[in-house]
């Protein structure tokens, strides 16, 4: 039959070509030939092609091949349209009626694999690796009359007014957003904070060239100074362009950028850095009248580099009068002055675009089998002593130098913090350490070992409520000290760590009571401490 149809088709084609060539076209014959060829085009694939159009016919047994389940039948008859609709459904093997070869539907398998990958990607993008930050309540409304009164006051008189108001702060036992147990005096804090929002204006000096000035460094362990600079210069609530209305003046330099630009590597000479700052202050004091009015006491700087306190020593007014918000708040150096200067939290930021990434989600107390954990470089005098007494000495005390690879393969540094009741935070070369804030992030009670260290934001935060301080001489008794803490007290401290966490977060858009506002408030409050009420 197949040969017969082929001969008919060839004969008709020859006839058609001959007619066209000699322009003797009989349209009836041409129409008849076209009809024959159309029928042949439909019937030929049925007999010639390897895969017949079996899905247009009734269901049949497709193969005598015996699979694992004993038989292979097609359970449904599908039209071509239905077949395309169900491409994602695994199809039965396609078997030719004139062949014993089983052919798998590869295109559909690829489509299914691609779909699975897409779903996996989609699931991954939905993972939220940032803490859920509950927004604070809006600031209290102030009567227009009081606003006009405050706006009419000269800057110094406005500060006197604020100090008097704080001295008569109304008693507050609790607050729906602030957690009273982590504060020294929540009543004074709340009143001072409200007045800061009503009154404070900061002028930022435009002088200075990048990268030392106006160029925040946002990554690494010194990122606190950069994030404060970034958010301060973007702020519209506290910043004023009129220096005559300002209560505080900000020196917008980065100690980290100063080190990178001026310090000669391995020279161990900080004098060029201190001379650079001295020259900058001299330029400011000659160009503007504001420094000389108060000898710099209403000016402030924010710097987290270990060397910052030493770089202020070449200019006596900068060292003694200016408010220094620094990470290296070491009383033994006689540079940091409590009550005037501010201890700055040291925060290690790994992703400037997402400063809150991988923060929080600490384990509950019952899922913290490790008593104490530390891992880090052997910097300074304290850490080698800690390892001498506790490295590989006790199963409950996971004390390492750098975390060994054999350990980190199974449990990472962050997971260790989440699995530990206490996180040991010994000083390095200087008193502060990013581990203190990291411990708070992962809801692990910090154990601070650094004599003469003024703890961050201690103007109002009560560190005894959510941390443990151990003297350097008591390192041999570290486990004994931790085990002596009653379970009830530990549970309270662990809850307090969770509650204080929001005060140590850098938000891309600052919120009330977050780290940016807490630092600014400490600077504001310490400026009020210098004001004498007549």
**pLDDT reading at 214 higher than 90:** yes
What whole-number distance in Å separates Cα of residue 477 and Cα of residue 485?
13
Same-domain status, 386 and 346 = no
Same domain, 326 and 294: yes
Average pLDDT over residues 428-440: 96
Is the domain of 163 the same as that of 310? yes
The reply to whether 314 falls in a domain is: yes
Q: Give the separation between CA 453 and CA 331, rounded to whole angstroms.
A: 6
- pTM for the complete prediction? 0.77
Q: How far is CA 484 from CA 461, 477, 478, 490, in A?
A: 24, 11, 10, 10
Residue 281 lies in a domain: yes
Phi, psi of 161 (to 5 degrees): -60, -45
Query: How buried is 165 (Cβ within 10 angstroms: 0-12 exposed, 13-18 middle, 19+ buried)?
Result: middle
CA–CA distance, 529 with 532 (Å, rounded to integer): 8
**Residue 85 pLDDT > 60:** no
Q: Are residues 329 and 370 in the same domain?
A: no
Reply yes or no on whether the pLDDT at 7 is more than 90.
no
What are the residues facing 330 on neighbouring strands?
453
pLDDT at 95 over 50: no
Q: Inter-axis angle of helices 27-48 and 2-21, to 10 degrees?
A: 150
What's the half-sphere exposure (Cβ side, CA atoms, 13 Å) at 19? Answer: 14
Domain presence at residue 473:
yes
- Say what the pLDDT of residue 60 is: 41
Residue 27's pLDDT is 57
Say whether both 318 and 191 belong to one domain: yes
Q: Residue 482: which CATH number?
A: 3.40.50.2000
Model pLDDT for residues 138-196, shown as the tens digit of each residue: 988 889 999 999 999 999 999 999 999 999 999 998 889 999 999 999 999 999 999 99
485: in domain: yes
Across 55-69, 398-412, 516-530, least confident range: 55-69
Q: Is residue 116 part of a domain?
A: no
Residues 297, 369 share a domain: no
Instruction: Give me the number of domains the chain comprises.
Output: 3
Is the model's pLDDT at 126 over the cut of 60? Answer: no
Same domain, 392 and 304: no
Q: What is the mean pLDDT of the chain?
A: 85
- Domain ranges, residue 213: 151-350+517-529
Does any domain span residue 124?
Answer: no
Question: Do 164 and 221 belong together in one domain?
Answer: yes
What digits encode the pLDDT tens for the residues 442-458? 999 999 999 999 999 99
In this structure, the answer to whether residues 467 and 500 fall within a common structural domain is yes
Q: Is residue 51 part of a domain?
A: yes
Does some domain include residue 118?
A: no
User: Is 91 a residue whose pLDDT tops 50?
Assistant: no
209 and 299 fall within a common domain: yes
Residues 181 and 316 in one domain: yes
| Residue of 205 and 88 predicted with greater confidence | 205
- Is residue 53 domain-shared with residue 175, that is, in the same domain? no
Q: Taking 50 as the threshold, does the pLDDT of residue 50 lie above it?
A: no
What is the pLDDT at residue 108? 42
Model confidence at 128, pLDDT cuts 50, 70, 90, reads: low
């Amino acid at each position: 039959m197949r040969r017969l149809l082929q001969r008919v088709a060839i004969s008709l084609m020859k006839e058609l070509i001959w007619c066209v060539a000699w322009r003797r076209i009989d349209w009836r014959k041409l129409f008849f030939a076209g009809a024959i060829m159309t029928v042949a085009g439909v019937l030929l694939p049925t007999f010639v092609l390897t895969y017949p159009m079996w899905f247009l016919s009734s269901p049949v047994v497709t193969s005598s091949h015996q699979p694992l389940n004993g038989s292979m039948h097609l359970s449904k008859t599908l039209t071509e349209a239905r077949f395309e609709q169900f491409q994602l459904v695994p199809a039965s093997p396609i078997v030719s009626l004139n062949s014993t070869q089983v052919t798998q539907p590869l295109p559909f398998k690829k489509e299914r694999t691609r779909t699975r990958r897409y779903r996996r990607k989609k699931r991954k993008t939905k993972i939220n690796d940032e803490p859920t930050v509950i927004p604070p309540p809006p600031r209290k409304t102030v009567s227009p009359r009081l606003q006009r009164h405050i706006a009419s006051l000269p800057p110094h008189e406005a500060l006197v007014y604020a100090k008097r108001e704080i001295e008569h702060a109304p008693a507050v036992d609790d607050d729906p957003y602030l957690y009273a147990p982590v504060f020294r005096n929540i009543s004074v804090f709340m009143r001072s904070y409200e007045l800061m929002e009503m009154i404070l204006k900061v002028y930022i000096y435009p002088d200075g060239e990048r990268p030392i000035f106006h160029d925040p460094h946002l990554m690494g362990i010194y990122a606190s100074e950069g994030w404060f600079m970034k958010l301060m210069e973007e702020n519209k609530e506290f910043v004023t362009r009129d220096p005559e209305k300002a209560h505080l003046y900000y020196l917008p330099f980065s100690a980290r950028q100063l080190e990178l630009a001026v310090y000669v590597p391995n020279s161990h000479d900080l004098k060029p850095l201190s001379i650079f700052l001295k020259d900058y202050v001299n330029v400011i004091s000659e160009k503007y009248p504001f420094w000389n009015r108060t000898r710099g006491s209403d000016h402030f700087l924010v710097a987290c580099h270990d060397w910052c306190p030493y770089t202020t020593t070449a200019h006596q007014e900068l060292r003694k009068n200016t408010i220094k918000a620094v990470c290296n708040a070491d009383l033994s150096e006689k540079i940091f002055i409590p009550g005037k200067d501010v201890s700055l939290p040291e925060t290690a930021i790994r992703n400037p675009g997402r400063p809150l990434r991988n923060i929080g989600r600490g384990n509950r107390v019952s899922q913290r089998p490790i008593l104490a954990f530390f891992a880090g470089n052997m910097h300074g005098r304290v850490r080698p002593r800690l390892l001498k007494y506790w490295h590989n000495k006790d199963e409950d005390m996971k004390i390492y130098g750098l975390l060994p690879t054999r350990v980190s393969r199974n449990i990472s540094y962050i997971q260790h913090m989440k699995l530990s009741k206490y996180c040991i935070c010994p000083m390095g070369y200087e008193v502060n350490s990013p581990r203190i804030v990291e411990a708070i992030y992962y809801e692990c009670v910090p154990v601070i070992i650094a004599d003469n260290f003024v703890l961050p934001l201690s103007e109002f935060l009560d560190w005894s409520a959510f941390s443990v301080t151990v003297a350097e001489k008591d390192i041999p008794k570290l486990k004994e000290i931790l085990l002596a803490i009653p379970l009830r007290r530990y549970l309270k401290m662990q809850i307090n760590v969770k509650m204080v966490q929001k005060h140590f977060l850098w938000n891309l858009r600052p919120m009330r009571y977050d780290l940016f506002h807490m630092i600014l408030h400490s600077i504001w409050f310490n400026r009020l401490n210098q004001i004498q009420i007549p």
